[in-house]
C-alpha cells in the first residue's frame, strides 16, 4: 500500500473519487452538447442534398424509346434537348405530346432527326401565320 493511502481516510478517498467522476461527467456532457448541434446541422444538410438530387433525377431520361408509331409522332408538338450534365447521364431529345406526355429518344436516330425537322417546320409556319397580315379580297 502507498503511504498516502494510509494517511487518507476511506471517506476522503470516496470524496476524491466522486470529484474525479464529476469532472469526467462534466467533460463528457460538455463535449456531447457541443456535438449535438453539429449533428443536427449535418442531418439537415444531408436531407437537403438528397432532396436536390431527387429533383434532378425526376427530370432526366434514363433510357430511350426505340420507336414511335406515325400516329404518336403526329401528336408531338415540341421537343427539348437533355444535356449530359448533373444527374442526367445520357443525351436525349424529349418529345412533348399534345396532352403533355413525354418520350425520351436517341438524338442519333434518323427518325428522331426527321421528327425534329417536321416540328420545326410546323412551328415556323405557325410563326409566319401569326406575323403575316391577312389578305382581304376586294369584292365590289
> Is 2 part of a structural domain of the chain?
no
Stretch 93-121: mean pLDDT, rounded? 95
Tens-digit pLDDT profile for residues 57-102: 557 888 999 999 999 999 999 999 998 877 788 999 999 999 999 9
- CA 24/CA 18 separation, integer angstroms: 10
Considering its fold, how many domains does the chain have in total?
2
Would you state the pLDDT for residue 42? 82
Size of the chain, expressed as the number of residues it contains: 140
Longest Cα separation, the chain:
134
80 and 113 fall within a common domain: yes
> Is 38 part of a structural domain of the chain?
yes
13 and 46 fall within a common domain: yes
> Is 65 part of a structural domain of the chain?
no
pLDDT at 105 over 60: yes
Tens-digit pLDDT profile for residues 1-10: 555 555 567 7
Please give the mean pLDDT across all residues of the chain: 79
> Is 140 part of a structural domain of the chain?
no
Amino acid at each position: 500500500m502507498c503511504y498516502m493511502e494510509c494517511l487518507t481516510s476511506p471517506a476522503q478517498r470516496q470524496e476524491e473519487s466522486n470529484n474525479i467522476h464529476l469532472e469526467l461527467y462534466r467533460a463528457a456532457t460538455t463535449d456531447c452538447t457541443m456535438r449535438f448541434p453539429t449533428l443536427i446541422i449535418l442531418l439537415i444538410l444531408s436531407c437537403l442534398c438528397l432532396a436536390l438530387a431527387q429533383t434532378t433525377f425526376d427530370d432526366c431520361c434514363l433510357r430511350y424509346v426505340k420507336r414511335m408509331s406515325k400516329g404518336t409522332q403526329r401528336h408531338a408538338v415540341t421537343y427539348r434537348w437533355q444535356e449530359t450534365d448533373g444527374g442526367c447521364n445520357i443525351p436525349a431529345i424529349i418529345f412533348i405530346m399534345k396532352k403533355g406526355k413525354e418520350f425520351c429518344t436517341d438524338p442519333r436516330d434518323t427518325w428522331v432527326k426527321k421528327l425534329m425537322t417536321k416540328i420545326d417546320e410546323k412551328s415556323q409556319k405557325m410563326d409566319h401565320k401569326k406575323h403575316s397580315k391577312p389578305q382581304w379580297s376586294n369584292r365590289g
